[in-house]
């Protein structure tokens, strides 16, 4: 079964003229699979690392690149909305940005030290010092602008 022009996919709409591999229909959507002979080149994606009170200061101060720290909680819905944006930032900036996540519920010392009063909070450190922060769930465009201004 081929995919026709203008079909809906799992990820959205396929524009006319797009080349898409064979797929199977599921709930009216075409779930396309990449043929096994197609490969993608590896992306130099920065790793998003879980941090803690014990090592956060050392990770920030010893980094040669800017460090973006995400203060989050497992139960926080807006915090979960930032995950795809952080994934994007890790792909976009690669090894030029270190991304750390720290659970605010289990790391009270860091929460107190940086006066975290709302979640999610993103803090950007440069040369070991706090440069800027964003509080609350924000759009990808705002995070992109924030990083461009401060890196």
Write out the catalytic residue numbers.
Answer: 76, 79
Q: Please name the residues in contact with 73: beta carbons below 8 A apart, sequence gap of 6 or more.
A: 79, 103, 104, 105, 119
Quick one: tokens of 148? 């461009």
Query: Using omega within 30 degrees of 0 as the cis cutoff, is the peptide bond preceding 120 cis?
Result: yes
Please state, in angstroms and rounded to a whole number, the distance separating the CA atoms of residues 49 and 117.
Answer: 22
């Amino acid at each position: 079964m081929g995919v026709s022009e203008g079909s809906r996919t799992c990820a959205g709409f396929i524009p006319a003229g797009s080349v898409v591999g064979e797929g199977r229909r599921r709930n009216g959507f075409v779930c396309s699979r990449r043929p096994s002979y197609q490969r993608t080149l590896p992306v130099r994606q920065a790793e998003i690392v879980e941090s803690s009170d014990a090592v956060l200061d050392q990770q920030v101060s010893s980094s040669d690149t800017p460090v973006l720290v995400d203060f989050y909680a497992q139960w926080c819905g807006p915090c979960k909305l930032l995950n795809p944006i952080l994934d994007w930032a890790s792909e976009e900036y690669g090894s030029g940005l270190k991304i750390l996540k720290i659970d605010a519920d289990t790391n009270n010392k860091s929460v107190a030290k940086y006066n975290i009063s709302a979640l999610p909070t993103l803090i950007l450190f440069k040369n070991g010092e706090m440069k800027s922060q964003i509080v609350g769930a924000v759009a990808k465009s705002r995070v992109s602008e924030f990083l461009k201004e401060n890196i």
